[in-house]
Amino acid sequence: MTAHRCQECGQTLPPTYQPPADEDWSTGIFGCTEDTDSCLTGLFCPCVLFGRNVENLNADISQRAACVGHIICVEGGMTFAALTSVLNGIDPQTLFLIYEGLFFAWWMCGIYTSMARQSLQKKYHLKVI
């Protein structure tokens, strides 16, 4: 007897398994406000929400570690950029190098977030958009 396996994640499927049909998006643009806790956490402290998502995706990474990484790369970068913009005593060429480093760090965060999204799509069998 051969067991059926999911093509996306490799899980063994029961013999009676029927794949779910692709469904259209069912919520509106403000559907995220239905979960008030997650909505407010994402609005006022996105690093905590990011940490929760990463921990749910990969048990080897703690919520705290992911949150700190988000704080350093995103919130820390924005604070650093704002402070360097306010300070006028910095050489323009040096300021350009600082901004270039920040844009690279934000780009890397985007790549990591995209990889996490793909893992979530595989883990929960979500329709790829």
Q: Directed axis angle between helix 92-123 and helix 46-57, to 10°?
A: 40
Q: Is the pTM of this model over 0.75?
A: no
CB proximity list for 99: less than 8 A, separation 6 or greater: 81, 84
State pLDDT tens for residues 76-113.
777 877 777 777 677 777 778 877 877 887 788 778 77
State pLDDT tens for residues 18-76.
776 666 666 777 887 888 898 898 888 888 888 888 888 888 888 898 888 888 877 77
Domain ranges of the chain: 29-123
